[in-house]
Amino acid sequence: MRVVLADKQANSSDEFRRILLGQGLNCEIEDVVEYGCLARRLAAVHPDIVIVRCNGSVEDALQAIRTAHQITDAPILATGEPEIPLVREAMRAGAQEFLDVSKLREELTDALKRLDSGGERASQRGKIISLFSPISGVGVSTAAVNLAVSLAGSGSKSSPEKVALVDLNPPPTDLASLLDVEPKYTMADVCSQWERLDTKMLAAAMVEHSSGVHVLAQAGCPRDGTIPRCDMNRAAVRQIFILLRRMYPLVVVDLGHVLSEDHVEAMQQSNLVGLVVRADVPGLRRAHWAMEALTQMGLDHHRFRLVLNGYGGRVQVKQAKVEAALGMKVSWTLPENAALVTRARNQGVPLSQLSSLARINSSFVGFARGVRTQLEETTT
């Protein structure tokens, strides 16, 4: 989305413009203009949003809002100190919303969500599916990698789907090695700069795999035996997800098996959360606990989908009993194929590269198709 920003003094808006870029918005230096130059800029470009900073003469700011209202059909957002007379007059002049400048980052995020959900712009926001398991060793990273590759491969050859794969596991992790990629920048690097993060910075941290998937990975195991730093926090995760929605139509997130505050934030920002379990008693017990804990944290069950991984063994709990134990229907079942999965992990390639006809690969194709269908029905 392109934004034109009107201000009393254009050269005083660097920090304001950085916040806009942090929302994944396009606001060039030339798009920041003084009140008197707003009409000329709007005649030259066709912005998606106009923002007027009410930080100078009130009448000049109101006139800028009236000018924008007369020239463009784009939504107009006013921002400043939320004094009741100013807010009232700004709305009368044509502003759609008034944002408190002291809470600009948060209020702008909420305003953009309302604009997205209120019209055609909703289709421009990417959809996010996160995969999580409350118990280790059930193959969440393998599932995330192969789901992302299957989603990318479901686009046409002339217009392949643009898919991001994001690693939110605490480092060190194995996700980068599963696709044999070496990230120049890690998730920890991105999180350490989250307050000044924009789409260009985030794009520079993504590594493109030959499948077309763009990977943002955590650090692997350092050869010197040091422990990689982990700078993730809820605010950083929220900022990264905001930008990912602007950059990619589809995002797959590997949440691993740790239930932390930043992982809960990721679930809240996701359209769907795949609860990945194996059909055994310890796994089901953990899954039941996790769902109860997440409910108490304010996450409702509607965004969760049950995924049975490695299913098909004779001694496993039957699907009907799994559903009864968790109070959820199984959405997708991924069969056991330890030999092929191990080969793929050892070679650092997706399953489809080893055997496109294997049943497990067909299951991931169906998984991707089902995810795409359900994501199209969500509005998060």
Residue of 120, 106, 118 lying closest to 242 (CA atoms): 106
The answer to whether the CB of 137 falls within 8 A of the CB of 283 is: no
First-to-final CA distance of the chain? 19
> Lowest-pLDDT range, 10-14, 127-131, 285-289, 345-349?
10-14
pLDDT exceeds 60 at position 86: yes
Domain end marker among 72, 100, 122: 122
Domain end marker among 73, 104, 122: 122
Residue 314: predicted pLDDT: 79
Residue of 139, 131, 138, 206 lying closest to 176 (CA atoms): 206
Question: Would you state the structure tokens that stand for residue 133, as one six-digit string?
Answer: 């398991």
The answer to whether the CB of 180 falls within 8 A of the CB of 213 is: no
DSSP-derived secondary structure letter, 42:
H
Residue 121: predicted pLDDT: 47
CATH of the domain at 227: 3.40.50.300
Residues above pLDDT 90, as percent of the chain: 68
The range of the structural domain enclosing residue 62 comes to 3-122
Q: Are both 174 and 314 inside the same structural domain?
A: yes
Calpha distance 31→44 (Å, rounded): 10
The answer to whether the CB of 265 falls within 8 A of the CB of 234 is: yes
pLDDT exceeds 60 at position 80: yes
Residue 122: predicted pLDDT: 42
Q: Are both 187 and 330 inside the same structural domain?
A: yes
Q: Are both 178 and 253 inside the same structural domain?
A: yes
- What average pLDDT does the structure give for the chain? 90
How confident is the model over 159-188, as pLDDT tens digits?
A: 457 999 999 998 899 999 999 999 999 998
Distance of CA 279 to the CA centre of its chain: 29
Q: Are both 322 and 211 inside the same structural domain?
A: yes
Domain end marker among 88, 122, 156: 122
Confidence of residue 308 (pLDDT cuts 50, 70, 90): very high
How confident is the model over 244-276, as pLDDT tens digits?
A: 988 999 999 999 998 899 999 999 989 999 999
What is the phi/psi pair of residue 304, to 5°? -90, 145
Confidence of residue 156 (pLDDT cuts 50, 70, 90): very low
pLDDT exceeds 90 at position 3: yes
How confident is the model over 20-37, as pLDDT tens digits?
A: 999 889 999 999 999 999
How confident is the model over 283-292, as pLDDT tens digits?
A: 999 999 999 9
Residue 380: predicted pLDDT: 52
Q: Are both 104 and 192 inside the same structural domain?
A: no
Q: Are both 76 and 7 inside the same structural domain?
A: yes
| pTM, rounded to two decimals | 0.79
Residue 118: predicted pLDDT: 62
Residue 208: predicted pLDDT: 95
Residue 41: predicted pLDDT: 92
Residue of 32, 95, 40 lying closest to 63 (CA atoms): 95
DSSP string covering 280-294: SHHHHHHHHHHHHHH
Q: Are both 99 and 139 inside the same structural domain?
A: no
CATH of the domain at 94: 3.40.50.2300
The answer to whether the CB of 121 falls within 8 A of the CB of 1 is: yes
Residue 123: predicted pLDDT: 44
> Lowest-pLDDT range, 45-49, 103-107, 356-360?
356-360
Number of domains in the chain: 2
Q: Are both 169 and 148 inside the same structural domain?
A: yes
Q: Please, which residues have CB within 8 angstroms of residue 124's CB and are 6 or more apart in sequence?
A: 1, 116, 246
Q: What is the largest CA-CA distance in the chain?
A: 77
| 373 burial level (CB within 10 Å; 0-12, 13-18, 19+) | exposed
Q: Please, which residues have CB within 8 angstroms of residue 143's CB and are 6 or more apart in sequence?
A: 131, 274, 276, 307, 309, 334
How confident is the model over 310-320, as pLDDT tens digits?
A: 998 778 999 99
Q: Are both 96 and 131 inside the same structural domain?
A: no
